[in-house]
Amino acid sequence: MGNGQLAAIFIQGVCCVPRYGFYFFEISFISAYIWLYLSVSNHLTMLTLKKSALLIFLLAFGQLNALAKKPVTITSPDAKIKFSLSTNAKGLYYKVFYKGVLMVDESPLRITFKEGGMFNHTLFIGATKIEKLTEDYELVTGKASKVHSECNRVIIPVTEQGGAKRTLNVEVRIFNDGAAFRYVIPKQKGWPAAVNITDEVNSFNLTQNPKVTALLRENYTTSHEGIYTKTKLNDLKEDTLIDLPALFEYPKGLYMAITEAALRDYAGMYLMKHNGALQTRLSPLPRQTELKVKATLPHNSPWRVMMISDKPGAFIESNILTNLNEPCKIKDLSWLKPGKTTFPWWNGDVVPDSINAPGNNYVTNMYYVDFCAKYGIEYHSVVEYGLHEWYVNDGAGFQPGPNSDPSKAVPGLDMQQLCDSAAKKGVGIRVWVHFYALYPKLDETFAQYEKWGIKGLMCDFMDRDDQEMVNMQEEILQKAALHHLHIQFHGAYKPTGTSRTYPNEFTREGTLNYENDKWSDVVTPDADIDIPFTRMLAGSTDYHLGGFHAASARQFKVHYTRPFVQGTRCHMLAMYVVLENNLGMVCDDPQAYINQPGFDFIQQVPTTWDETRVIDAKPGKWLAIARRKGNEWYVGAITNHEVRTITHTLDFLPDGKYTAEFYSDAPATDPDLNHLTKGTKQLDKHTVINMILAAGGGQVIHIKPIK
C-alpha cells in the first residue's frame, strides 16, 4: 500500500466523521484498520511512515471528537457567571453557574419548525471563538444617560447530522449582571426563504427550589395587570402561564430574574411550569393554536435573559436589556422631550363647574393647560369627558365603531386652537387613542396630529403580544417618529429594551397600577413594592402617579371621581423616584395639589436620569434608590405595610458639601396620611441617614451641591 493510498484512506476516514456523526463513529473500525494494516507491512521504513500517518489520523479523530463532546463554556468579564452549552443524544443543553454555584442545571433548548419539525437530529457543534464586546452609547430616556456595555460573546454553530441537516447558530452573551442567548437562523440550502416556527420550548431547570415572585396569567390575551404570586418553585401551579419578568430568590442570598430583550418580529415569551421545570411558551398568532412565528430568513429570536446577582438592586441598576438592542434608528432627537403630564380621566375630569361648561371642549382643557403652565408640567393629556372620547366615535364603551375617526375632534373641541394656545404657554398637548381606532387610519391620523401640533399620544387596549401585534407596535413607533410624536402604550406587553432603538417610546403600562383605585382596593403598598423587582426590571413603568388623597387600608373607600390611594403622601412622592417612568403622570385634579405639602417636589422631580444607584433593597419589603440628574440627586424610599427604618450612608455622592431637603412621613400620632414633615440639612458622602418610614410610607430627599 503506497503513501497515496494511505493519504486517501486518511482523508476518507476524517471526512466520514462529520458525515456519520461523532457519536456514531465506530472506534472498532479504526482498530481493525490498524491491525490489518500492520499485518501486511514488510518494511521498517514503510511501517514507520504508516504508523506516523495513523497516529496523525487518530489525533485528528480525537481532536474532532473532543470538539463535538466538550461543552462550549463562556464566562462574564468578571468571571462570576459561567454558561456552558453541550449536546447529547437528545439535543442541546445548557447550564449556568454564579460564583461556582449551579443556578440552572442541565436544561434543553428546543425550537420546532413546521418545515422539518424539531431541530434535534443528532446535533453537531462546530468551531467557536469567544470574543469580548464593549460599547458606549447614550439613551434619551431611562435610568442612565450614558451606558458602558461590556460582555463576552460566542456564536455557536449547530448542525443536524440527520433529518433535514439544518443549521442554526446559538449566540450567547455574558455580562457581569446576567446571561443571554438567542437563536440566529441563517439562510441555507434545502430550506425555503420563509419558515414557520411552531414552538420554542427552552427550559430553565432552576436549582435549590427558589422563591418565585411572578404574575400568573390565564391566557395570552391580557393587559398584564394583576397581583403577584409568591411561592416556592416546587409549589408553583403547573401548566399556568407566567408573565415576565419573573423574580427567583435562591437560598443564601442569590437572585435571578428571567425576561427577554429585543422583542421584534417575533412572538412574546412566557414561562410555564411543566413536569416540574420552567419552560418557555410563545404567544400564538391570532386565530392560530400551533403557529407562533412566520420568519423570513435570516431571522433572529429575541434574547432570553437571565439577570443574576447576589444583590437584587443590581437588577434595577442594570442596562442589560438596552445593551442587547440595536442602536437608535431616529436621526433627529431634538424634538424628544420627556416630562410629566396631566391625565384627567383618572380624577374623573374634575373642573370648577362654576366657570366651565361640561364636556371635552376648549375651556375645559385650557383649565388644565393653565395649571400645567403655572406649575411646570410639560404636557396636558386630552382623553375623554363623561365616558366619551375626544374624537369622533360611534362605538360604545370606548370600543371603536364603524365610523370611528381619531383624526377628527368632537364638535365643540377645536384641537388646532387648543394646541396653539397651549404652545404659547409652553405646554404640549397629548391625546388618548384606542388602538383599534388608530391603526386602520395610522398615516392620515399621524399627519393630522403633526399639523395640529400634538406632541404625543397614549395608544390603548392592545392586550396582545403575538408577532402580529409586536410588528404593529413597531410600525406605530416608526411612523410616529416621522411625525415627531412620542408614544405611551397602555394595555400593552412588557418593555424589552427597544426604547434604545425607538426612543420616542416614552413609557408602557403592563402592570396593575393606581388606575384600579377608581374601582377596587387591590393596589396597596404591598403591591407597589413588588413592581420594581418584577415589571420595572423590563423598563419604563406607567403607574398613574400623583393621587393626593392618601388613605390607610381602613380609611380607603372606592371613589371613581377623586380616588383615594393607599399609603402615605410621602409614599406617593417616593414613587416618582423609585419607579423608572419617563412620562410621569400628575393625574389628580389641579385643586388637589394647590398649597398641598409635597407638590413642590413633584414639580421638581425629573422623569429621566443620568445615573441610578440602589441604596438598599429587599424584594417584597423595601427599596431605597438614588437617581442623579446633572449634579443633583433624588433619593426615594418606600416600604410595604410594615414600619421600618433604613439606615445608610450617602457614599454615592462625589466629594464636597451638599444641602438636602427631606420630605418625611408625619409622626405615627398623626392620623392624616396626607401630612408630612419637611426639613433641610447640610451633609456629605459620609453622612449617615436614618429613613424612618411609616406603614405604607416613604421618604424623598432632594440633594444639591453647595456652590
- Write out 47-103 in H/E/C secondary structure: HHHHHHHHHHHHHHHHHHHHHHHCCEEEECCCCCEEEEEEEECCEEEEEEEECCEEE
Clarify whether residues 144 and 293 are in a common domain: yes
- The confidence band for 355, taking pLDDT boundaries of 50, 70 and 90, is low
25 pLDDT more than 70:
no
Tell me the average pLDDT across 399-407. 96
Res 89: pLDDT: 84
- The confidence band for 49, taking pLDDT boundaries of 50, 70 and 90, is very low
How far is Cα 230 from Cα 219, in angstroms, rounded to an integer?
19
113 pLDDT more than 60:
yes
Neighbouring-strand partners of residue 182: 171
The count of structural domains within the chain is 2
Clarify whether residues 262 and 211 are in a common domain: yes
Clarify whether residues 47 and 123 are in a common domain: no
Clarify whether residues 28 and 80 are in a common domain: no
67 pLDDT more than 50:
no
Res 70: pLDDT: 84
**What's the start-to-end Cα distance of the chain, in Å?**
91
Clarify whether residues 76 and 65 are in a common domain: no
How far is Cα 304 from Cα 171, in angstroms, rounded to an integer?
10
296 pLDDT more than 50:
yes
Res 50: pLDDT: 44
Helix (H, G, I), strand (E, B) or coil at 516: helix
Length of the chain: 707
Res 386: pLDDT: 79
Q: Is residue 390 part of a domain?
A: no
Res 668: pLDDT: 86
How far is Cα 124 from Cα 127, in angstroms, rounded to an integer?
10
11 pLDDT more than 60:
no
Burial of 229 (0-12, 13-18, 19+ CB in 10 A): middle
Clarify whether residues 217 and 77 are in a common domain: yes
8 pLDDT more than 50:
no
Report strand pairing: 486-489 vs 505-508.
Answer: parallel
Res 17: pLDDT: 36
Tell me the average pLDDT across 681-697. 97
Clarify whether residues 111 and 250 are in a common domain: yes
Clarify whether residues 288 and 183 are in a common domain: yes
40 pLDDT more than 50:
no
The Cα-based distances of 563 to 84, 401, 608 in angstroms read 52, 30, 27
pLDDT one-digit tens code per residue, 216-268: 999 999 999 999 999 999 999 999 999 999 999 999 999 999 999 999 999 99
548 pLDDT more than 60:
yes
Q: Is residue 676 part of a domain?
A: no
Res 461: pLDDT: 97
Kindly tell me the sign of the dihedral angle through the C-alpha atoms of 259, 264, 266, 268. positive
Res 297: pLDDT: 97
| Domain with 76 in it | 72-323
- Greater pLDDT, 63 or 514: 514
The Cα-based distances of 378 to 230, 368, 584 in angstroms read 38, 11, 10
- The confidence band for 351, taking pLDDT boundaries of 50, 70 and 90, is confident
Which residues, 6 or more positions from 298, have their beta carbon under 8 angstroms from its beta carbon? Answer: 184, 185, 186, 187
Percent of the chain with pLDDT over 70: 89
The residue from 294, 323, 352 where one domain ends is 323
Tell me the average pLDDT across 622-643. 99
Q: Is residue 440 part of a domain?
A: no
51 pLDDT more than 50:
no
Tell me the average pLDDT across 99-122. 95
Clarify whether residues 149 and 280 are in a common domain: yes
Instruction: Let me know: does 74 contact 130? Beta carbons within 8 Å.
Output: yes
Mean pLDDT of the chain: 91
6 pLDDT more than 70:
no
The residue from 281, 297, 323 where one domain ends is 323
- Give CA torsion, residues 641, 647, 653, 657, to 10 deg: 120
Residue with cell string 458622602:
685
How far is Cα 613 from Cα 624, in angstroms, rounded to an integer?
9
Res 356: pLDDT: 57
Tell me the average pLDDT across 385-400. 90
Q: Is residue 626 part of a domain?
A: no
pTM: 0.91
Q: Is residue 355 part of a domain?
A: no
Q: Is residue 219 part of a domain?
A: yes
pLDDT one-digit tens code per residue, 302-324: 999 999 999 999 999 999 999 99
Res 69: pLDDT: 59
- The confidence band for 583, taking pLDDT boundaries of 50, 70 and 90, is very high
The residue from 323, 354, 384 where one domain ends is 323
Q: Is residue 692 part of a domain?
A: no
How far is Cα 440 from Cα 637, in angstroms, rounded to an integer?
44
Buried-exposed string 272-302: b where 16+ CB fall within 10 A, e elsewhere = bbeeebbbbbbbbbeeeeebbbbbeeebbbb
421 pLDDT more than 80:
yes
Instruction: Let me know: does 697 contact 703? Beta carbons within 8 Å.
Output: no
CATH number of the CATH domain containing 289: 2.70.98.10
Percent of the chain with pLDDT over 90: 84
Instruction: Let me know: does 270 contact 216? Beta carbons within 8 Å.
Output: no
Clarify whether residues 308 and 171 are in a common domain: yes
Clarify whether residues 34 and 169 are in a common domain: no
Res 154: pLDDT: 99
- The confidence band for 436, taking pLDDT boundaries of 50, 70 and 90, is very high
Q: Is residue 337 part of a domain?
A: no
pLDDT one-digit tens code per residue, 151-174: 999 999 999 998 888 999 999 999
Q: Torsions phi, psi of 101, nearest 5? A: -90, 130
Clarify whether residues 204 and 220 are in a common domain: yes
How far is Cα 227 from Cα 212, in angstroms, rounded to an integer?
13
How far is Cα 140 from Cα 503, in angstroms, rounded to an integer?
6
